[in-house]
A and B are shown apart, each in its own frame.
Chain A
Amino acid sequence: MLPYDQRDPHAHLCSDHAREHPTVWDLPVAESLKREWLELETRRHFFGRGAKALAWAGLATILGKSAPQMLANAASGTEIRPHFAPKAKRAIYLFMAGAPSQLETWDYKPGLAALFDKDLPESVRGGQVLTGMTASQPRLPIAPSMFKFQQHGKAGHWVSELFPWTAKIADEIAVIKSLHTEAINHEPAILQITTGNMFPGRPSIGSWLSYGLGAMNEELPTFVVMTSKMPVVKNVQALSNRLWSAGFLSPEHAAVALRAGHDPVLYLNNPKGLNSDARRAMIDGVNALNRQLFERVGDPETNARIAQYEMAFRMQTSVPELTNLSDEPASTWDLYGPKAKEPGTFAYNCLMARRMAERGVRFSQVFLRSWDTHSDVPGRLAALCEDSDRPTYALVADLKRRGMLDDTLVIWGGEFGRTVYSQGGLKRDLYGRDHHPRCFSMWMAGAGVKPGLAFGETDDFSYNIVKDPVHIRDLHATILHLFGIDHSRLTFKFQGLDQKLTGVLPAKIIDGILA
């Protein structure tokens, strides 16, 4: 083969799209870009030859990486992952959307009791611009938590009375009190923590894991999302699938959203009168057409489409098995409580998350909304914790007794924190809290996380971080690390950048919380 620069730039094109339209060769762009495009074009041709190569190409995108594939990858310059032996085989992320107050939950500030209704010192606020929701308030009066705290476990975590069940697993969890973000409103904040970027269109954590590590179970999606029924419905933000999309990665890395009830995945069941053989024949037909399209156009999206039809067909068997809870022993219901029998509740979703973990779903994310307590913090937190505390405990305890907590990472948290001062009026047992990006609390358990640890510190007002700040990108780097991935090496080329979950700013692994 001639070197690139001696070849006719158009000689390699298929007859059907040669000179049809201007190509990269006609544009004033860097030579390296042209070469990359040419290589891609050559590869399209390679995969376009013969059904065998095609089938392999299609399959390789959905199967996890097995030894021979990895070797092939290594030979083609793609690296073998995980980069190093992982602690986590899978993760369950309990996402408290709307941002739970750290002051009532994990960041105990006993000193505030004496400062009830005093003004927040200007020195603490440090000239911070407030959101439009409280900027016009004449005062910023301090609102101490009305809930009491007690130390629990050998670790002596201070746990809120809102969490009588979670208190029992205090020695399993590592609380991080020093998370911070730049975003001050829900949509950018929740995008940042689910995808690493405030702008929509980026792959979420689960999508990066699917892209990086492939599937463990080829019959189920690698990344699943569930949203939960809310015990209180107030100030609720919509959740959209951009929080669990694959962004610029191939679409099969997006989450499958599991719904409550008889039809967990929409349009999965065969329409009335269509049997499984007919369905199979139909999919084969559609796939054949898609393969022709792929051969002609070479768009990798077509292969993703083929893979998704195949996945949907397999899920016709695997999803009913997953959601059929009749094989659960009585001890399950004793642990999770009666609400776990009701599809769509947070308790049910926690149990489903455990069942998915058993079946090799790599990343499941359970959303519970309504934590956006601009008013009535006490009443709403009480209802939300009453609903979620026991299932949260049950999930961790269940994973532990089944020997799965060792390699399953559990993550709990929202998208930012809340203000120490009250929004709106202030009574001892009635106050609101505005958004606060400068600090918030999360916890992690299992899979290589140091159990019973409290990490990071905030000032006496839970306003500024005074020790061990953890940015969201540090959290992401740490999650990837637990999966055996070096976050700086899990990249995907898009818009001229080697895109990463952790973005372009330096991210550090939170060494202090690793066991």
Chain B
Amino acid sequence: MISRVATGFSLRRKLYLVVSLVAGATAWGEPTFFQARVAPILDRNCTVCHGEEKQKSGLRLDTYEFLQRGGEGGKIVAPGKVGESELYRRITLPGDDEDVMPSDGKPRLTANEVKILELWIASGASPTAPVSAFPNAPAPLTPKPAALPLAPDWRPRAQEIAALEAALNVRLAPRSALPRDGLVLRTVSAPARCDDATLSRLASVAELIVDAELARTKVTDAGLKSVASWPNLRTLDLSRTAVTSDGLSALQSLDKLETLNLTGTLVDDTGVARVRTLPKLRRLWFFGTRAQSPDCDPGK
């Protein structure tokens, strides 16, 4: 199963690799304009229909070579001649023209994207011209910072995870499609069946758990000793459990913990003071406890 996923990825990677060997970098290692600016636009807007999987009108736009080759209607880029390039004509037609691309009401290219293609074609549609040759190109969008890995890849442990879920009546759900986004420990289907013993049996996946939903479970102070050994834990919900201030002492090791919910527990100000010193803690709730101190909000 894993190998099939990997193959799917690597096929794409291989295509990029071909591109990068031919057109990826200039002799000095500077990225080419085509690779850095043009290919991503084609990838975003065109390759759904003109790519590896579909080749409408016999056209592919997922590599420089395919782009050069054109489709059934012939070449689509005339180097140096924007006005004679079919690619440019299609993306600049009015939205109701039946030849307009992308077709079928799919989102149009942005003005900046059109401009980048125009500049590239005008300058000769080179596969090797460096980014620095296009000082007038619109600035690239600042990419969102890549999500930091929160935990090791869970995928190699899938069988183990499945066995634990079955044995312990809990769920270990991936937080997202990113394999290093960690697992959510979910107990809400049967909170009464999750207790200190359950937590002690999760040691083998300790570093994978980033979010522990333990609200309304039978977890007590003793169970927090297990929780304390989950080094990548960011979010911990202990609402309406029987944990006390004493138990919270164990949590000192959770140096990545950002969010802690103690609503309706038996903690008091002593316990709150103990967890307030956690280095990364940004959010702390203890509504419905004996603690009096003000809630912790971000920035405070």
Contacts and interface: CB of A to CB of B under 8 A. Distances in A.
B1 A401 contact: no
B285 to A, nearest CB: 3
Interface in B93-110: 104-107
A222 to B, nearest CB: 12
Contacts of B176: 80, 82-86, 484
A143 B52 CA distance: 59
A129 interface: no
Interface in B269-288: 283, 285, 287-288
Given A85-B147, A403-B239, A403-B283, A70 B188 contact: no
Given A66-B173, A79-B177, A85-B147, A71 B1 contact: yes
B117 interface: no
Contacts of B178: 84-85
Contacts of A218: 189
B236 to A, nearest CB: 11
A67 B107 contact: no
A64 B288 CA distance: 31
Interface string A502-514: 0011100000000
A389 interface: no
B283 A504 contact: no
Contact of A75 (B5, B165, B181, B259): B5
Contacts of B174: 65, 67, 70, 80
A74 interface: yes
B190 A219 contact: yes
A101 to B, nearest CB: 33
Contact of B172 (A67, A216, A358): A67
A71 B153 CA distance: 12
B158 interface: yes
A66 B263 contact: no
A66 B172 CA distance: 6
A126 to B, nearest CB: 21
A341 interface: no
Interface string A155-192: 00000000000000000000000000000000000000
B161 interface: yes
Contacts of A401: 263, 285, 287, 295
Contacts of A64: 171, 173, 186
Contacts of B161: 66-68
Interface string A191-216: 00000000000000000000000001
Interface string B258-272: 010101100000000
A67 B104 CA distance: 37
A506 B107 contact: yes
Contacts, number: 104
B283 A406 contact: yes
Interface in A451-488: 484
A484 B175 CA distance: 9
Given A85-B178, A506-B105, A329 B288 contact: yes
The A interface, classified by DSSP as helix, strand, loop or mixed, is loop
Given A72-B1, A217-B189, A84 B162 contact: no
A81 B287 contact: no
B175 A67 contact: no
A221 to B, nearest CB: 13
Interface in B136-183: 147, 154-155, 157-159, 161-162, 165, 171-178, 181, 183
Residue in A67, A70, A331, A403 with the greatest tally of chain B CB atoms within 10 Å: A67
B173 A65 contact: yes
B105 A68 contact: no
A465 to B, nearest CB: 20
Residue in A68, A72, A401, A406 with the greatest tally of chain B CB atoms within 10 Å: A68
Contacts of B158: 67-68, 71
Contacts of B215: 358
Contacts of A505: 105
Which A-B residue pairs are the 9 nearest by beta carbons?
A: A403-B285, A75-B1, A360-B188, A68-B162, A80-B177, A403-B261, A401-B287, A506-B107, A218-B189
Interface of A: 64-68, 70-72, 74-75, 79-86, 216-219, 329, 331, 358-360, 401-403, 406, 484, 504-506
18 contacts: A67-B183, A68-B162, A71-B158, A80-B174, A82-B177, A83-B176, A85-B181, A216-B186, A217-B188, A219-B190, A358-B215, A358-B239, A360-B188, A360-B189, A401-B263, A401-B287, A403-B287, A505-B105
